[in-house]
Amino acid sequence: MASEDVLRSASALASYNVLLQGLFRVLTFFLNAFTLRFVSKDLIGVVNVRLMLLYTTLVFLSREAFRRACLSAGGTEQVWRQNINLLWLTFPLGCAWGLVLVWVWVSVLTSPDPHVVPGYLPAVGLFCWAALQELLAEPFWVLAHAHLLIQFKVVAESLAMVAKCLVTMVLVISFPEFGLYIFGIAQCVYSGFLLLAYIFYFLWFLGSEEAEKKSFPLQTLSELLPGRVHGKPMIYWKQAKLTWSFFKQSFLKQILTEGERYVMTFLNVLNFADQGVYDIVNNLGSMVARFLFHPIEESFYVFFAKILNREQDIRKQKHAKVALAAEVLKYLLKLVLVIGLIITVFGYSFSHLALHIYGGESLTTGTGPSLLRCYSGYVLLLAVNGVTECFTFAAMSKEEVDQYNFVMLGLSASFLLLSYWLTGLFGGIGFILANCCNMALRILHSLIYIRRYFLPTDHFPLEGFRLHPAFLISLVISSALTVLSERTFCCDGGWQLRLVHAGVGGICFLAVVATVFTKETQLVAFIKSQLLPQYSRKKN
């Protein structure tokens, strides 16, 4: 596949992933707002912190390393058969992790009061089983993602999320006394639906005309099961070694990603109700970030991994591919920086109003608004780190990945210590401050790597951090006006004054967006040509 075709496919994948993540976040947004009216904050804290931490830890540690290693694979049918055998190891690995984690969650951690939060022990088992179901779909997911089967991935994950939301809402209304059973059953519905969707899709897809057009390396569903490869080892050992390198890194990355939840879960620095408020604020604050930034990071990792050779010096690679990678990285950095700054400026002044609309007085009377204000600043760092690490992990050689594991170890240890110390001083805000420090260090490391990587060339992708002065001025003015508007009209007044505050914010937002369109013209052209689905289709 030509470099431009890979870029178009990755851009289309990013666009559809943005739509998918948008649907996920909107559904989760309304689901949380809905359940807040029927269940306690303690139960929300147990589900969204304790049980979802079990789920994400089991899934992440079992599959992340395999995904990163095998997504850069390609070539013959035999190579893919070997990598499919490798991918099937995620399930037994998940079973092993499941036994360890369930024992920890049941025997080591303090169980919640059964009168306040009923059904804890069965819920732990249900969430573990849901994670194992999702791991069974891993070979299908990697094949679909590597061959850019975009529409199917969007439809399958969207329908699975809709099914989960419907089950949760029906059970919450009909059987609120079921407590944690509700959320465990809903999670099993999500992962089971997703697995069945992949199976039925590949039953139809394999051997079809569309599979032939995409030069799909497999022909029958049986080839997606583990088996012997004629004249070859069962596992492609080059990918296995890379997987091991990523596995050591994934353990540390999981601590960095979910560090605050580990601190809350194992050190009991916040009670379950406060954990629930923190998680609600975290989900609300990260909704736009995950809606936009995570799909871009996920999709363009595939692009960079395919266009660059991680085992070859940049001076020996094709100049056209290196130039394209540098240009794409430059505009991705500029894009996420612009979006992150806008979120930071407007998030600060509209945190109280957003929480009031979302959860009423129960979220605005405590530390909720302060948490969300701090989180709006963290989003900026989250945005930049997503793109810089996306490129860094795609370009690193195996040896560099191994070396980075030591960096991750130091970052993990410092983050946990900072979280514990700052939480003792500032409560939930301490988690966000620790995340900011950690994210800044990760960005610094990635920037040093990117600068050194492109140093032998005449490309300077870090120029993406240079923004037009008019845009920066518009942000400063908007920040001052919206802060003044919040203090004058919002919080203590009625809905009429809150609407005035919203109107001031809307006018400032339109002015900032207009500045972007008139001054950052090259960025706008990049978005139109590469990130919007309708423009991508025109180019095809």
Position 15 in a domain: no
User: 329 and 223 share a domain?
Assistant: no
**Is 120 inside any structural domain?**
yes
Three-state SS string over 107-156 comes to: HHCCCCCCCCCCCHHHHHHHHHHHHHHHHHCHHHHHHHHHCCCHHHHHHH
Q: Evaluate whether residue 500 is within a structural domain.
A: no
Residues 276 and 320 in one domain: yes
Q: Compute CA distances 363 → 339, 523, 537, whole Å.
A: 26, 38, 44
pLDDT digits (tens, 9 = 90+) for 142-187: 888 777 676 777 778 878 888 888 898 889 888 888 888 999 999 9
55 and 186 together in one domain = yes
Residue 3: inside a domain: no
Q: Are residues 215 and 266 in the same domain?
A: no
Domain boundary, last residue among 465, 481, 507: 465
Residues 6+ away with beta carbon under 8 Å from 81: 218, 223, 227, 229, 232
Residue 242 sits in the same domain as residue 264 = no
Residue 16 inside a domain? The answer is no
Say whether both 74 and 206 belong to one domain: yes
**Both tokens of residue 375?**
């989180």
Final residue of a structural domain among 247, 278, 308: 247
Token pair for 253: 């990355």
Smallest Cα–Cα separation from 246: which of 408, 58, 64, 73?
Answer: 64
DSSP string for residues in 405-472: HHHHHHHHHHHHHHHHHHHHHHTHHHHHHHHHHHHHHHHHHHHHHHHHHHTTSS--GGGGG---HHHH
Q: Are residues 343 and 224 in the same domain?
A: no
- Domain identity same for 345 and 395: yes
* Predicted confidence (pLDDT) per residue in 116-142, tens digit: 888 899 999 999 999 999 999 988 888
213, 98: one domain: yes
pLDDT tens column, 462-492: 988 899 999 999 999 999 999 998 888 776 6
What is the mean pLDDT of the segment spanning 333-352?
89
Rounded Cα gap, residues 289 and 175, in angstroms: 34
Total number of domains in the chain:
2
The verdict on residue 21 lying in a domain is no
Helix (H, G, I), strand (E, B) or coil at 302: helix
Same domain (yes/no): 200, 293: no
Is residue 509 domain-resident?
A: no
Q: Is 517 exposed, middle or buried (0-12, 13-18, 19+ CB in 10 A)?
A: exposed
Q: What pLDDT, on the 0 to 100 scale, is given for residue 77?
A: 54
**What does pLDDT average to over the chain?**
81
Find the domain containing 131 and state its range.
38-247
Looking at the structure, do residues 377 and 355 belong to the same domain, yes or no?
yes
Last residue within a domain, chosen from 247, 270, 303:
247
Same domain, 459 and 310: yes
Assign 535 a pLDDT band (cuts: 50, 70, 90).
Answer: very low
- Entry pTM: 0.68
- Average pLDDT on 73-91 reads 73
